[in-house]
């Protein structure tokens, strides 16, 4: 096991009718900026629940934070927050609204130029941040219990991530009932996003971390088991188990002391930045190709995954690992998630844009830092 | 799943050579009370590492916090801390030293009478607490990542627990290498203590919490797998995996939204209070008898345990659940842990003291609150 530090101060408030607890969770003296997305919270009753809990408080609203939240939009919220002297940010929405809120929280007090530096520095340039609370409406990104954020910038077609402990939400309210109104494609995306988060922290090479391996498998097994019910009915337990599993997929517990590889995310981000595919869609495209290409590095853990999750007993490590790749793709297909670039009409020529960007940045990816632009071409070719 | 809140702010600093980080973790302006036990830290090099990290700091020492830390001892530390105007408590030792430190942290600023009220109120009476840091030398109790403490009082032969978020350690340093000098019986006790912690949060009845079940099984499976190596050699990975598993056995993650039953602990505490058996020894005595007596309530989860941990596939729920009880006792025996009252010369007559105390207190135990003094007699009779 590698040395590690773990400290996650988020207060998770989980269960039915928990939005009303906002009244106790936010100091009445605060001026709140309520941030949300495209307005679905006004159709499913969440907006009314939030307003009821915050009755009598000073609340300013900012709507319109989009999926893959845009720097340009966030900076409008920053301007509003500064003007209104806001001192608490409440995100009501999915991971995108919360990621946007995290960036806004750091950008409001940012001095010394363009807050985009928070992104280009990976979070190192963040100086301080306003306190954040969250009401989560979509289980997927794990943003509700971590200090990470991903922001896109139109003008440069960039999608960058940052992390900083200062943007941990003070609290996150998770009410599984408010997921009932989610459309099928968002549920599907959430399941796949959480699945791939686990795999980025698991499918590398083993350094003898049996507890973390089994904790990761616990999340994946839960996602696979609940997926059919999540997609076919409005059942409390399925939604609750999905929601808590998605949180655990990226709250830092399963990555303690292990070897991680976020290559699939890094390449997926570029597919979103250039071609507009949803985040989870990009991951479902890249992951199987990544595993094929990196087979030698990852096969031991993939074989373990096949044995423990899909009860593959026959064959050797190689055949078991191949079974894990096939069964992962089959799982994605079972939730109606495409796994090919061609499903989105992205061609061999198109991917050169992605490769060129990695070449320019000089990025190296992978648990052995051995994936460069040329390897990314080979990987994406396997994903066509 | 039940509604729940989870918030655990402890900073875990895990790995080799991490004691040196004390220098960064404690504000140089603090006056530190360094608390430890019987002096083993002076033999195994831990004391020197702590002193080196805190060179130049104002450090006052209090030695002699015993296993099952005594109120009487703790109050001497409270007196010293008040006199020396200490404003930070550093626990260097196992769960007993840390439990004592948590009580001392709350007792120092306590006003309004005897701080023992913190215990009799279960933690509700605690008003404020000094900040706490920990260097953990013995994986067992999970105290390093929770806000619980158990204190014994000589004058009344009581052993009571309290919990309060104000006594979460600010940080806990876990260096697996410093467990190399532990004697066999402490390693054995730690393994059994952690195992039973998991079971108190697992072996009840299911309310559809598949993730938490598998997270609990992950801890138990890890403990079982590492136990032989932990007891037979000084191997870093075994100690690291044991240490992290013991922390996860009682850091609140596996109890989120599930039904718990701490009966075994409650009865075990009285065996320690009256007869002086070690905490883990008391648990190993009570647990198998508890499961036999509460078979109807617990058999579904016990059968699941048998299937998933010991791969019992034959038989029905009843036979599988019985197998879990047998295999648990066999696991305790495999680490040289006795499981009978008679192993400690505690007789049928002796246990009447325990029963009488529960009768006087009017305590009800169990996930259905159906275990009273008469049932405790039946349970302990099964443990003779």
- Look at A8 and B8 and tell me if their CB atoms are within 8 Å: yes
Residue B172 Cα distances to A102, A254, B90, B131, B255, angstroms: 28, 19, 10, 12, 21
Domain architecture of chain A: domains with CATH? 11-178 (3.40.50.1970), 183-382 (1.20.1090.10)
pLDDT digits (tens, 9 = 90+) for B217-248: 999 999 999 999 999 999 999 999 999 999 99
A209 touches chain B (CB under 8 A): yes
* Of residues A192, A186, A243, A196, the one with CA closest to residue A216: A196
What residues of chain B lie within 8 A of the CB of A257, using their CB?
A: 14-15, 240, 244
Residue B196 Cα distances to A115, B249, B261, B312, angstroms: 50, 9, 11, 20
B165 touches chain A (CB under 8 A): no
Which ranges constitute the DSSP H helices of chain A?
A: 22-25, 46-53, 71-84, 95-107, 117-120, 184-200, 210-232, 236-248, 263-275, 279-293, 295-310, 317-334, 351-361, 373-382
Q: Burial level of A181, CB count in 10 A (0-12/13-18/19+)? A: middle
Q: Are A141 and A193 in contact (CB under 8 A)?
A: yes
CA B202/CA A186 separation, integer angstroms? 33
- Look at A209 and B241 and tell me if their CB atoms are within 8 Å: yes
Beta-carbon contacts below 8 Å between A and B: 118
User: pTM for this structure?
Assistant: 0.97
- Look at A9 and B4 and tell me if their CB atoms are within 8 Å: no
What residues of chain B lie within 8 A of the CB of A215, using their CB?
A: 215, 218
pLDDT digits (tens, 9 = 90+) for A179-236: 999 999 999 999 999 999 999 999 999 999 999 999 999 999 999 999 999 999 999 9
pLDDT digits (tens, 9 = 90+) for B113-150: 999 999 999 999 999 999 999 999 999 999 999 999 99
SS3 label, residue B88: strand
User: Using the 8-state DSSP alphabet, how is residue B40 labeled?
Assistant: G
pLDDT in the model for residue B140: 95
User: Using the 8-state DSSP alphabet, how is residue B235 labeled?
Assistant: -
pLDDT in the model for residue A297: 96
CA B96/CA B104 separation, integer angstroms? 12
A335 CA to chain B: closest CA distance, Å? 20
B256 touches chain A (CB under 8 A): yes
Q: Are A66 and A149 in contact (CB under 8 A)?
A: no
In this predicted complex, what is the ipTM?
0.97
pLDDT in the model for residue B208: 97
Positions of chain A with pLDDT under 70: none
pLDDT in the model for residue B130: 98
Nearest CB among A16, A210, A221 relative to B3 is that of: A16
Residue B264 Cα distances to A20, B108, B153, B194, B370, angstroms: 36, 31, 20, 13, 14
B225 touches chain A (CB under 8 A): yes
Nearest chain A residue to B15, by CA? A3
- Look at A244 and B237 and tell me if their CB atoms are within 8 Å: no
CA A163/CA A339 separation, integer angstroms? 28
pLDDT digits (tens, 9 = 90+) for B316-348: 999 999 999 999 999 999 999 999 999 999 999
What residues pair up with B132 in beta bridges, in sequence order? B89
CA B79/CA B97 separation, integer angstroms? 17
Q: How many residues in chain B? A: 384
User: Using the 8-state DSSP alphabet, how is residue A255 labeled?
Assistant: T
| Mean predicted lDDT score pLDDT of chain B | 97
Q: What is the mean pLDDT of residues B204-210?
A: 96
**Torsion angle, CA of A24/A27/A31/A35, rounded to 10 degrees?**
-40
pLDDT in the model for residue B220: 98
What residues of chain B lie within 8 A of the CB of A195, using their CB?
A: none
- Look at A14 and B7 and tell me if their CB atoms are within 8 Å: no
Q: Are A53 and A45 in contact (CB under 8 A)?
A: no
pLDDT in the model for residue B321: 98
Q: DSSP of A262-316, one letter per residue? A: -HHHHHHHHHHHHH---HHHHHHHHHHHHHHHTHHHHHHHHHHHHHHHH---SS-
User: Using the 8-state DSSP alphabet, how is residue A191 labeled?
Assistant: H
B222 CA to chain A: closest CA distance, Å? 6
pLDDT in the model for residue B286: 98
B12 touches chain A (CB under 8 A): yes
Nearest CB among B4, B7, B225 relative to A210 is that of: B225
Opening angle at CA B55, ends B51 and B57, nearest 5: 105
Structure tokens at A361: 């940045």
CA A333/CA A354 separation, integer angstroms? 25
What residues of chain B lie within 8 A of the CB of A308, using their CB?
A: none
CB neighbour list of residue A107: distance below 8 Å, 6 or more residues apart: A74, A75, A78, A115, A118
A14 touches chain B (CB under 8 A): yes
pLDDT reading at B39 higher than 90? no
Nearest chain B residue to A169, by CA? B7
Sign of CA dihedral A213, A217, A219, A220: positive
When scoring A3, A171, A211 by the number of chain B Cβ atoms within 10 A, the one with the most, hence best to mutate, is A211
- Look at A15 and B217 and tell me if their CB atoms are within 8 Å: no
């Amino acid at each position: 096991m590698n040395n590690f530090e773990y400290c996650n101060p988020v207060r998770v408030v989980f269960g039915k009718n928990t939005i009303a607890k906002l009244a106790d969770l936010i100091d009445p003296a605060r001026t709140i900026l309520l941030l949300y997305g495209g307005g679905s919270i006004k159709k499913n009753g969440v907006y009314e629940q939030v307003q009821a809990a915050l009755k009598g408080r000073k609340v300013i609203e900012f709507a319109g934070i989009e999926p893959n939240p845009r720097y340009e939009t966030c900076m409008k919220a920053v301007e509003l927050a500064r003007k209104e002297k806001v001192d608490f940010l409440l995100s009501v929405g999915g991971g995108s609204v919360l990621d946007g809120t995290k960036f806004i929280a750091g950008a409001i007090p940012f001095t010394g130029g363009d807050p985009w530096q928070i992104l280009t520095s990976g979070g190192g340039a963040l100086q301080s941040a306003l306190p954040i609370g969250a009401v989560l409406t979509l289980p997927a990104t794990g943003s509700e219990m971590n200090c990470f954020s991903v922001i896109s910038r139109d003008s440069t077609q960039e999608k960058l991530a940052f992390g900083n402990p200062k943007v941990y939400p003070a609290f996150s309210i998770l009410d599984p009932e408010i997921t009932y109104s989610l459309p099928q494609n968002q549920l599907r995306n959430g399941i796949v996003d959480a699945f791939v988060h686990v795999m980025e922290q698991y499918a590398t090479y083993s350094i003898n971390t049996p507890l973390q391996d089994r904790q990761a498998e616990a999340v994946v097994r839960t996602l696979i088991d609940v997926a059919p019910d999540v997609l076919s009915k409005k059942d409390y337990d399925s939604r609750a188990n999905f929601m808590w599993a998605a949180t655990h997929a990226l709250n830092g517990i399963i990555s303690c002391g292990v070897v991680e590889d976020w290559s699939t995310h890094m390449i997926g981000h570029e597919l979103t930045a250039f071609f507009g595919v949803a985040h989870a869609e990009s991951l479902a495209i890249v992951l199987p190709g990544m595993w094929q290409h990196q087979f030698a590095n990852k096969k031991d853990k993939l074989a373990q995954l096949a044995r423990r999750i899909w009860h593959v007993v026959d064959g050797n490590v190689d055949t078991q690992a191949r079974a894990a790749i096939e069964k992962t793709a089959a799982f994605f297909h079972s939730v109606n998630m495409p796994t090919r670039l061609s499903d989105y009409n992205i061609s061999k020529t198109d991917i050169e844009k992605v490769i060129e960007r990695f070449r320019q940045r000089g990025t190296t990816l992978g648990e052995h830092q051995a994936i460069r632009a040329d390897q990314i071409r080979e990987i994406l070719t396997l994903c066509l």
